Amino acid sequence: MKVYIKEHKRHAGKWIYEGYKSAWTHLGYDTEYYSDLHDIKGDDYQLMALDGDVNFSNISKLEKANRVYLHTQPNHFPLPWGSHPNFVSTCPLNVIDVISKMDNVYKWSFGMVTDFHKKWGHVHEIPLAFDSINYRPVKDKRYEFDVCFIGGWADNGFNEKMKIIIEHLGPFKASGLKCGFFINKNISHNDENLILSNSKIAINIHDAYQRKLGLDTNERTFKSLGLNGFLISDHVEYIKNTLPNALLAKTAKDMFDLIMEYIEKDLQATKNKNREDILKNHTYKTRVQEFLSL
């Protein structure tokens, strides 16, 4: 049976669904990306789809599928973010009514399921994960940093992330630490893997809505713990509940102070424990197994 997976060519979706595609393949499934539901052929398939792809003209693709794992966006996300299409489902409400009655469709969100999803009925919470197939720790002294961060401004229409990143990274200029900070550098998989694997401490910084609402985290959280093993993140309530082994900093000063506290400590035992936890509980392979168990 073939598994069709939505193709993303950029941004976080590219890495998320690449991780899922590798996991399905690793578990023995024939996988293929789709860009338009109309392009899917045959009747014997499972489907990882996005709610925004579905309308009455292609809902038959969901009806024919053996199983559909439909990633749902909230319909009433809070302002100001709820006014931007990045945060709102574009699936028509009358189509949502039809989908919610289909027994072969399993709706899911990688963030906490709240009243924002209520139009969808029952939605499963399945977090993001670590891509343990395409990323593996590799030792290389050329990539050793005291502290590292790899990310981008990720402007979601409000341009909030730039200010947050500058606020958190600014204190390191006079710290004397060897910092591997790569912002909007289009770092390759290999370089990202090596930087995270060989740095002493990894940090993570989230979007404003994630910090405010606490309903989800980014994929970097799992990647940092899976490769580096020691993560200090800005405070997001979802991490506190999902990955208690990550240290959380409520302010930029708190983050800097935590790094200066731990930079001279032997962190190897902690790193090994955290990596083992991620490999056991938080990979895309384990997420696929969660989907199959629904």
Yes or no: say if 92 and 74 are a contact pair by the CB < 8 Å rule. Answer: no
Work out whether strand 124-125 and strand 179-183 pair parallel, antiparallel, or are unpaired. Answer: unpaired
User: What is the tens place of the pLDDT at every residue in 40-57?
Assistant: 988 899 999 999 999 999
**C-beta of residue 172 within 8 angstroms of C-beta of residue 149:** no
Structural domains in the chain? 2-126 (no CATH), 141-281 (3.40.50.2000)
Pair 66, 46: CB distance under 8 Å: yes
Q: What is the arrangement of strands in the sheet containing 2-6, beginning at the earlier edge strand?
A: 30-34, 2-6, 45-50, 67-71, 105-109, 124-125
2-25 tens-digit pLDDT: 999 999 987 888 999 999 999 999
| Pairwise CA distance, residues 26 & 95, whole Å | 33
Low-confidence ranges of the chain (pLDDT < 70): none
As to burial, measured by CB atoms within 10 angstroms (0-12 exposed, 13-18 middle, 19+ buried), residue 199 is buried
pLDDT at site 135: 96
Pair type for strands 30-34 and 231-234: unpaired
Q: Give the pLDDT score at 156.
A: 74
Which of 91, 82, 47, 119 has the alpha carbon at shortest distance from 209? 82
Q: Where would I find the beta strands (DSSP E) of 41-104?
A: 45-50, 67-71
The Cβ-side half-sphere exposure at 52, using a 13 Å CA radius, reads 11
Rounded (5°) CA angle 73-76-81 = 85
Mapping DSSP to helix (H, G, I), strand (E, B) and coil, where does residue 263 land?
A: coil
